[in-house]
């Protein structure tokens, strides 16, 4: 509002002075009023941040115009510059508002079912465990689990999915998603401040403050240019003694668009990515992703769906039946969070096998688990684990060599082998081919699984380089070695087991909502859907963003300013024309940046 009042005040004063309706001192007073906000920002930047920006340039230009008795020219310049500053400010607000618009907001109240009644309750008063009723057309106010009902839910604000998802009992519901058809009773599982929605908002807002390296670079370039500019303008005045020429040069040598060229693009690109279910934590990671030449994939839960199943149990020790082997395996796995443990527990549930609570439970990273079950020492894990515990596996012929083999030993003797496989993720092969075509030189799969399984999976999806039998620390070591060779590495994992590797990589990308809370903490980029093609999508957005930044700098700063300075030196244009032309790069930069929200971007 202040900017508009300043523009109108100066504009009216110019017209009235031009028609000789007011004296000079009123024009000067209106100029001082309009200049106040610019001068204040200039002084504060100079004192607090030791930064010289366009506000200082314009303040100096207006003061010089008054000192040189070019009153009307100075006033017109001031008014046009105030308009340009307003456009720049509005541009940033427009880009930021797009983030809030695309995500929306959650309701302030919820209908709670309690003691057979439905009570409207403020979100802040809800407690974990409350049952919330949500009807068609309403936004889901909390994160929770569906306890009853069937409904079609639009999850686009959270996951970026283009089509509604059917929700039935035991499914997860997200705050901020919209219930389109049906009705649901949802049991609240997270506080309002801990929902996926609230974390998305916090991450996107935080991302706005994370400067990309190119943004820091343009800030440095601007600071280097400023003393050179003042020397240049001072030299021009020394040789010409032309006040109008000096005013016009100050307008065109202002580094305003250089500072505007990058942040607007960053905000627009982050908003565009968020709309498509991709959370990028800041401009730094947006830029890094565009430079990545190597992508390292975890296998389980990333290239595969993460829902493995037991295909066969090979009995080695005939003293045990299949059910007994399942009892031992399920007992030691009941405390494990590994995806393969879930497969064994699901298989036990399918066979309706009961199992006891393990004692002395121990997890051996990258190897397996050990525990006492029914007074027997049970080991469950990969072949390397067995060899380390001196369990002989050399004479065993695997019946399903392409499956993941989980060995079970009871009292130091190999008892059986569980063969488990996982399905390849949809579009995995197409994604790998697309990434390679987009300029990714190296694509590597890392897994703690055996060599045969790693080879089988990699061949199915077209990855030529794979490493097997790895511990978590081995993955970190491999990423470090790649980085030492000068490669820019992105690591794609599930965000939980691969957290150290995600942090070590130049860019950590976490898949899906399965472990969203941990994923958001560990990764630089979070994909809110379990879709591999989102990786190519994120990279396409980042590359388009940095093409846009280059366009902004070249056209908005280079062409317009160089042309303007040339025209001023040739005395083809003066201060008023210079100020009018100064509106052009601001407008061009804004339009070119904001188009990222809607323009079609090819993967």
Q: pLDDT tens for residues 371-391? A: 999 889 999 999 989 999 999
pLDDT on residue 4:
85
DSSP string, 5-64: HHHHHHHHHHHHHHTT-S-HHHHHHHHHHHHHHHHHHHHHIIIII----HHHHHHHHHHH
The residue whose two tokens read 């190119």 is 214
The residue whose two tokens read 């009307």 is 72
8 A C-beta contact, residue 560 and residue 588: yes
Measured distance CA(186)–CA(566) in Å, rounded: 67
pLDDT on residue 121:
86
Q: What secondary structure, in 3-state letters, does 527-553 show?
A: ECCCCCHHHHHHHHHHHHHHHHHHHHH
pLDDT on residue 480:
93
Measured distance CA(503)–CA(524) in Å, rounded: 8
pLDDT on residue 515:
47
Catalytic residue, from 143, 185, 298, 530: name it: 298
Measured distance CA(6)–CA(36) in Å, rounded: 9
- Kindly tell me the burial class for residue 361, based on how many C-beta atoms sit within 10 Å of its own C-beta (0-12, 13-18, 19 or more): middle
> Cβ contacts of residue 229 below 8 Å, gap of 6+?
57, 253, 255
Measured distance CA(81)–CA(75) in Å, rounded: 10
The residue whose two tokens read 């699984």 is 449
8 A C-beta contact, residue 542 and residue 536: no
Measured distance CA(321)–CA(344) in Å, rounded: 16
Q: Is 298 a catalytic residue?
A: yes
Residue ranges of domains in the chain, CATH in brackets: 2-100+205-264+543-597 (no CATH), 109-193 (2.70.150.10), 278-304+424-539 (3.40.50.1000), 309-421 (3.40.1110.10)
How wide is the angle at C-alpha 191 spanned by C-alphas 190 and 192, nearest 5°?
A: 115
The residue whose two tokens read 């001031």 is 78
pLDDT on residue 164:
80
The segments of the chain whose pLDDT lies below 70 read 49-54, 57, 84, 87-106, 156-163, 193-194, 196-197, 199-226, 254-261, 495-497, 512-522, 556-557, 603
pLDDT on residue 473:
82
pLDDT on residue 172:
86
CA 114 vs CA 118, 129, 187, 234, 423: distances in Å: 6, 11, 12, 77, 43
8 A C-beta contact, residue 359 and residue 371: yes
pLDDT on residue 512:
65
Measured distance CA(90)–CA(83) in Å, rounded: 10
Q: Which residue spans within 231-326 are E strands per DSSP?
A: 278-280, 294-298, 309-315
């Amino acid at each position: 509002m202040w900017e508009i009042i300043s523009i109108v005040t100066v504009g009216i004063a110019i017209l009235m002075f031009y028609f000789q309706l007011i004296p000079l001192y009123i024009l000067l007073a209106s100029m001082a009023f309009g200049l106040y906000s610019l001068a204040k920002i200039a002084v504060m930047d100079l004192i607090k941040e030791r930064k010289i920006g366009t506000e200082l340039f314009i303040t100096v230009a207006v003061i010089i115009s008054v000192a040189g008795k070019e009153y009307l020219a100075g006033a017109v310049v001031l008014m046009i510059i105030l308009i340009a500053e307003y456009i720049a400010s509005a541009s940033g607000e427009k880009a930021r508002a797009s983030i809030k618009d695309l995500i929306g907001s959650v309701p302030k109240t919820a209908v709670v079912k309690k003691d057979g009644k439905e009570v409207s309750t403020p979100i802040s008063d809800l407690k974990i465990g409350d049952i919330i009723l949500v009807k068609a057309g309403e936004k889901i106010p909390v994160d929770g689990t569906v306890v009853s009902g069937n409904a079609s839910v639009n999850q686009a604000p959270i996951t970026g999915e283009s089509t509604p998802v059917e929700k039935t009992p035991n499914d997860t519901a997200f705050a901020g998603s919209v219930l389109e058809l049906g009705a649901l009773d949802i049991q609240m599982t997270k506080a309002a401040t801990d929902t996926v929605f609230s974390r998305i908002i916090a991450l996107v807002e935080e991302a706005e403050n994370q400067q990309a390296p190119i943004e820091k670079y343009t800030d440095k370039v601007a600071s280097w240019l400023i003393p050179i500019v003042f020397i240049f303008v001072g030299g021009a005045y020394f040789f010409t003694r032309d006040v109008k020429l000096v005013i016009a040069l100050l307008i065109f040598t202002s580094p305003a668009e250089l500072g505007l060229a990058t942040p607007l693009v960053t905000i627009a690109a982050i908003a565009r990515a968020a709309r498509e279910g991709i959370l990028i934590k800041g401009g730094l990671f947006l830029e890094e992703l565009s430079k990545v030449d190597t992508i390292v994939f975890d296998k389980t839960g990333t290239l595969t769906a993460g829902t493995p199943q037991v295909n066969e149990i090979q009995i080695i020790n005939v003293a045990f039946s299949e059910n007994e082997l399942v009892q031992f395996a399920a007992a030691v796995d009941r405390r494990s969070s590994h995806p393969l443990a879930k497969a064994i527990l699901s298989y036990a549930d399918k066979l309706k096998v009961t199992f006891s609570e393990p004692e002395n439970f121990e997890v051996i990273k990258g190897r397996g688990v050990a525990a006492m079950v029914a007074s027997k020492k049970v080991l469950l894990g990969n072949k390397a684990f067995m060899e380390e515990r001196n369990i002989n596996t050399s004479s065993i012929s695997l019946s399903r060599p392409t499956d993941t083999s989980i060995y079970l030993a009871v009292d130091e003797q190999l008892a059986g082998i569980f063969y488990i496989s996982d399905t390849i993720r949809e579009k995995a092969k197409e994604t790998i081919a697309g990434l390679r075509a987009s300029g990714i030189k190296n694509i590597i799969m890392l897994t703690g699984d055996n060599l045969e399984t790693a080879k089988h999976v990699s061949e199915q999806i077209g990855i030529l380089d794979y490493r097997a039998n790895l511990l978590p620390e081995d993955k970190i070591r491999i990423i470090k070695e790649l980085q030492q060779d000068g490669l820019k590495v992105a690591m794609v994992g599930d965000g939980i087991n691969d957290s150290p590797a995600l942090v070590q990589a130049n860019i950590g990308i976490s898949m899906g909502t399965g472990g969203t809370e941990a994923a958001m903490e560990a990764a630089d980029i979070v994909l809110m859907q379990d879709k591999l093609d989102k990786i190519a999508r994120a990279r396409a957005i980042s590359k388009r963003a940095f093409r846009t930044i280059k366009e902004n700098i070249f056209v908005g700063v280079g062409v317009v300013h160089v042309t303007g300075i040339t025209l001023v030196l040739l005395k083809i244009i003066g201060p008023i024309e210079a100020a009018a032309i100064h509106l052009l790069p601001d407008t061009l930069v804004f339009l070119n940046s904001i188009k990222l929200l809607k323009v079609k971007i090819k993967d």
